Amino acid sequence: MSHANAALTPRARLRLAQLIVDRGWSCATAARMFMVAPRTARKWADRYRAEGWAGMADRSSRPRTSPTRTTPAVVRRIVALRWRHRLGPVQIAGRLGMPASTVHAVLVRCRINRLSRIDRVTGEPLRRYEHPHPGALIHVDVTKFGNIPDGGGWRYLGKQQGDRNKATTALRTGRTEKGNPRIGTAFVHTVLDDHSRVAYAEICADEKAGTAIDVLRRATAWFAARGVAVERVLSDNGSCYRSHAWAEACTELGIKPKRTRPYRPQTNGKIERFHRTLADGWAYARFYDSTDQRNTALPDWLHFYNNHRAHSALGGRPPVTRLTNLPGHHS
């Protein structure tokens, strides 16, 4: 497609060239008619003679050779400094003794000009993916939160008062072991749809295979009630997900189980990021004076997350907007 200020479109070039080649007009006369230079008219006429209609198309303005182009060896050094040390163009240019504008151009060409596109742990470019429809893949995982002692925990009351409340609660529940008060851990089993980011979560007493399977059964039923058929499930390499019982349950439900590469939590990054949102928005969002109070608040927060909370990956819309088959969704 011609640029906005082009004097001739491909169709106009063809008419110009046909006047010169087929009707015998002079280049100067045809050029005056189309308000271009005679040299331009001669160029299109020559292309028409050589290539016909195909010669009227735009061509790249990129030069055949670029003698001053940054060499591959220097590009590799720039990329290495960006990946390993997360340096900006100015810092890299200072180390390599070259203009910062050149470094920035190389980073843009390699698509690593923004640090948000580089994994913080490995330094490699992020490889983002998203499955095409709800249910194509769900992520499952377990995150843990310490239970809250009666009267509140240390995050809001301070360590001294929090330790006193913890000791009192442990004494009441009989969980004091050799003077070390224990009040237990909440295991939150989470399920997240890859396409829509709709989330399901349950608070359980452990992370054993039987518990994880029960959560999966209830989660698939919860998604099915919303018109989503689960096809695949992605988990980490936790013992509950490596068990034969888990594989058998997935087969029974018609779900294909998949696991992330060992020591590669980035593959399950969507649910890892959801855990951070869960912690900030629910677990540590406000003062709770007991574990029961926090547990009671989870369903309401999940409803807010799924139906009202703007999600940056969805263009500022809540996850439920991607479940287009919800009853009454378009009414």
Expressed as residue numbers, the domain containing 248 is: 138-147+185-322
Per-residue pLDDT of 283-328, as tens digits, reads 998 999 998 999 999 999 999 999 999 888 888 899 999 986 554 4
In the block, residue with structure tokens 């490889």:
127
Could you tell me the two tokens for 80? 């290495």
Residues 302 and 205 in one domain: yes
Domain count, the chain: 4
* DSSP string computed for 147-200: PPPTT--HHHH-HHHHHHHHHHHHHHHT-EETTEE---EEEEEEEEETTT--EE
The CATH number of the domain holding residue 300 is: 3.30.420.10
Considering the domain architecture, whether residues 44 and 84 belong to the same structural domain is answered as no
Q: Which two tokens stand for residue 233?
A: 């499930």
Residue 244 lies in a domain: yes
In a domain, 289, yes or no: yes
Residue 242 lies inside a defined structural domain of this protein: yes
pLDDT in tens, the chain (331 residues): 566 667 788 899 999 999 999 999 999 999 999 999 999 999 999 999 999 989 998 888 888 888 888 999 999 999 988 888 888 899 999 999 999 999 999 999 988 887 766 666 556 666 667 888 999 999 999 999 988 888 888 888 888 888 888 888 887 776 666 556 778 889 999 999 999 999 999 999 999 999 999 999 999 999 999 999 999 999 999 999 999 999 999 999 999 999 988 877 777 888 998 999 999 999 998 999 998 999 999 999 999 999 999 888 888 899 999 986 554 443 3
Instruction: Assess if residue 39 is contained within a domain.
Output: yes
If asked whether residues 279 and 246 sit together in one domain, one would say yes
Question: What are 254-257's contacts with CB under 8 Å, separation 24+?
Answer: 255/216, 255/220, 255/230, 255/231, 256/231, 256/232, 257/232, 257/233
One domain, residues 142 and 286? yes
Is the domain of 143 the same as that of 217?
yes
- 191 and 248 co-located in one domain: yes
Tell me if 129 is assigned to some domain. Answer: no
List C-alpha distances in Å: 181 to 156, 164, 285, 288, 293: 19, 10, 25, 19, 21
Q: Do 41 and 168 fall into the same domain? A: no
Angle at 11 between CA 9 and CA 14, to 5 degrees: 110
CA proximity to 276, closest of 156, 151, 192, 158: 192
> In sequence order, what are the residues at sequence separation of 6 or more whose Cβ sits closer than 8 angstroms to the Cβ of residue 1?
58
| CA dist., res. 53 & res. 17, Å (int) | 10
Do both 197 and 179 map to the same domain? no
